[in-house]
Structure 1
Amino acid sequence: MFMTYEWVQITDSAEELSEMILQSEQVEQYEKAYHAVYNDKNLAEEIYAFTRLKEQYEEVQRFGKYHPEYSRVMKQIRVDKRRLDLNEQIASLRLAENELQDLMDQVSFIIGRSVSEAVKIPSSNPFFSSDSSCGGSCGTGGGCSCSA
């Protein structure tokens, strides 16, 4: 493949867009929230402990109620998840993640539509994915929120 002037322009535009995204308010908020969560030693340890518990949960799920630790793990995972969900720093991180994801969805939508109206654009936002629904031919039986 030869590097043409058109490719150089596309590459430059992509780098410029990338810089604009990295300098956005959404990225700034995400970075602040991320550092607030993971620089808090106690909270980071709670997250690590929850991750280990999730591994136990996956093991228990393989055997279901016949696993000897089923009741304990199932109760503990709900309690720990609720405690983490109610943590203000984690809630702020999730909100910042959602805001950043919305920005990325909007950018993807604009780029996709500039290429063609037929481009299928994956999105976590139903507003953007309604026009780009797979129309039932994805093979997931509607798992992708299409109209299968």
Structure 2
Amino acid sequence: MLATIEIVDLLDKSEQIGQMILESDVMFEYHIAKKTLADDQEAQQLISDFRNIKDQYDEVQRFGRYHPDYNKIMKDIRSTKREMDMNEKVASFKIAERNLQDLLDDVTELFAHSVSHQVKVPRDGALLKEGGCGCGSGSGGCGCQAS
């Protein structure tokens, strides 16, 4: 019975923390930036253009330098991404998104270290990023950059 009461108490407290995050200034700014980005036709066109060129880039990556359009697509994707990233609404959204990720990382780190300082905590959404080793070891013994 005692374990059940402790679990219910933990669930209640975690819901409170979740609600605090949802009501935070960081989350508010994120939602504003997301809505502003969604309502901006120029930014949406830039995002659409980038997605289209990204599809072409993915096709070119299958063949690498041997694809006949390799140089053109590589140049196009860099310029399209730069143009998209330079848009004020896109940049504001990315900043708001990074701030929210930082908040979530900080909360996760507090939870993990309240259990033990030996718990490995990924930062900057590291679990979601491509290019990781994917081993899941967290030890770094496999050559991954876990720390």
TM-score with structure 1 setting the length: 0.82
Equivalents in 2 of 1:41, 1:91: separation in Å? 15
**Hey, what's the Cα distance between the residues in 1 that align with 2:76 and 2:145?**
29
Q: Partners of 2:77 and 2:12 in 1: how far apart?
A: 47
Aligned match of 2:8: 8
Between 1:63-72 and 1:31-40, the stretch displaced more is 63-72
Question: In structure 1, what residue type is equivalent to 2:101?
Answer: Q
Distance 1:27 1:52 in 2: 30
Q: Which residue of 1 aligns with 2:53?
A: 53
* Superposition map of 1:81-120 within 5 A: 81-120=81-120
CA deviation string 1:110-135 (max 9, x = no partner): 1001111221111129xxxxxxxx45
Q: 5 Å matches for 1:69-148?
A: 69-124=69-124, 134-137=138-141, 139=142, 141-144=143-146, 146=147
**Which has the higher mean CA deviation after the structures are superposed, 88-97 or 67-76?**
67-76
What is the aligned partner in structure 2 of residue 129 from structure 1?
Answer: none
RMSD (CA atoms): 1.9
Contact 2:49 2:80 in 1 (8 A): no
Shift of 1:143: 3.9
More contact order relative to length (CA 8 Å, sep ≥ 6)? 2
Distance in 1 separating the partners of 2:48 and 2:3: 46
- Asked whether the equivalents of residues 33 and 92 of structure 2 are also in contact (C-alpha less than 8 Å), the reply is yes
Q: Unaligned regions of 5+ residues in structure 2, if any?
A: 126-137
Query: Which 4+ residue blocks in structure 1 deviate beyond 4 angstroms?
Result: none
Comparing 108-117 with 39-48, which one deviates more in the overlay? 39-48
- For 2:71 and 2:112, locate their aligned partners in 1 and report how far apart those are by CA, in whole Å: 47
What's the % identity of the aligned pairs?
40
TM-score (norm 2): 0.83
Q: How far apart, CA to CA, are the structure 2 residues paired with 1:50 and 1:65? A: 21
Rounded to whole Å, the distance in 2 between the matches of 1:9 and 1:48 is: 46
Counterpart Cα distance in 1 of 2:55 and 2:145: 25
For residues 79 and 45 of structure 2, the distance between their equivalents in structure 1, rounded to whole angstroms, comes to 16
In structure 2, give the amino acid aligned to 1:41.
Q
Stretches of structure 1 that go unaligned for 5 or more consecutive residues are 126-133
